[in-house]
Structure 1
């Protein structure tokens, strides 16, 4: 069963810049999709259209009654409460939960992302990885059926990357429908069921991760995630 269908979508801004051109693809319920692309490829514009933050110039986005939750690249922009507990409760309250149900929902959501022990901490002092996990907690509390991650590894250190990957793996195991928009394929492609490459507003590849690795990804300004380092010189990105 489909969770998302994007059909012939285009986005043209007022200055005539074409951000997306004739984009079509679908994602099934429980599928984990990685959409890769360099800066300016159209990833963030596509994310905004799927999440309902903007309208396409042409074409359609069908969520089949599902609701999309978005984990922004800048996790700080999503923090609305003083503590993780208050932050998660903020969204859940807007969905009508009261007292005991609200407390149970907040506890469960923080527990799922490994943040229950920090429920009373000052949210702004959390690490980058913890802030992204907090954003996921908020989405889980509002029972979103599709979760979109926009560059989830941006500005994270290695422990933070591992924290986010662990949450993504858990969500996949729970059969959540996931979209990850990233150019850092080496960190997440192994979890994907579907792989899409965007370049200059167009889909250049759609298929399995295994098929994607057989493409010349560098022609679309994406580093080959399977690159092998055996010498110090291999680590020069020239």
Structure 2
């Protein structure tokens, strides 16, 4: 449940690369604490660039990005790129340890994060041998262990089978119920838009729509190369794969 506190404010942000490519052009929006926002856009729309700026992995050419009393955690599209430990236990501990947690607190934090994501029984398994869905859950466990209140998911359903998609949706639902602020960057609206409070459309570096999912699904999404899922489903409530 969102509240009146603004967790993230993006104001007049532009990102221009050295070759002159304008990846983001005067982007402004704010996300409230506890809000679940879906940012949709086709490849090249600027979603990944925006994600990198919010997560602090890159800097805007101009404009400001303000995180109010929270830190952002990022779940990459390629979960393998986020695995640093040999086992899930080691992997989750890596980030939390770098946040300054001491041994006893670290152990409890890691166990809680693995239990939270259904991976406790695999804490000593080879991390690279986990399924695609389990690797995505492991990335989320690492964010939970670092106590991030804003979590960004970059194309969370990429390369996942049906069980993996359902697992990720269940985790997103759980995080929402716990009051986390969530941003999902995706073009697969049919899997998650029914869970969102907010719907933002990004196209060629510009925001084309910012409002509720109900309003957004009435827009001509195809002109921004986004498939409108309502043609295949009866209602917005059907657009969550659980």
TM-score normalised per structure 2: 0.93
* 2:6 is the alignment partner of 1:2: yes
Is there any run of 5+ residues in structure 2 with no aligned partner, and where? 234-242
Instruction: State whether structure 2 residue 150 is matched by structure 1 residue 149.
Output: no
- Report the number of matched residues: 230
Map of 1:93-108 to 2, 5 A cutoff? Answer: 93-108=97-112
- Asked if 1:124 corresponds to 2:128, the answer is yes
Distance 2:197 2:62 in 1: 28
Q: Deviation of residue 228 (structure 1)?
A: 2.0
- Secondary structure of the residue aligned to 1:144 is coil
**Which residue does 2:63 correspond to in 1?**
59
Q: Deviations over 1:36-70 (max 9, x none)?
A: 00000000000000001111011100001311000
Report the equivalent of 2:75.
71
CA distance in 1, matches of 2:118, 2:136: 12
Match in the other structure for 1:168: 172
**Structure 1 gaps, min length 5:** 230-238
CA distance in 2, matches of 1:74, 1:6: 25
**Equivalent-residue separation in structure 2 for 1:70 and 1:99 (angstroms):** 24
TM-score norm. by structure 1 comes to 0.95
Q: Show the counterpart of 2:50.
A: 46
Q: Runs ≥4 in structure 1, deviation > 6 angstroms?
A: none
RMSD between aligned residues? 1.1
Q: Would you say 1:211 and 2:215 are equivalent positions?
A: yes
1:227 Cα deviation after fit: 2.0
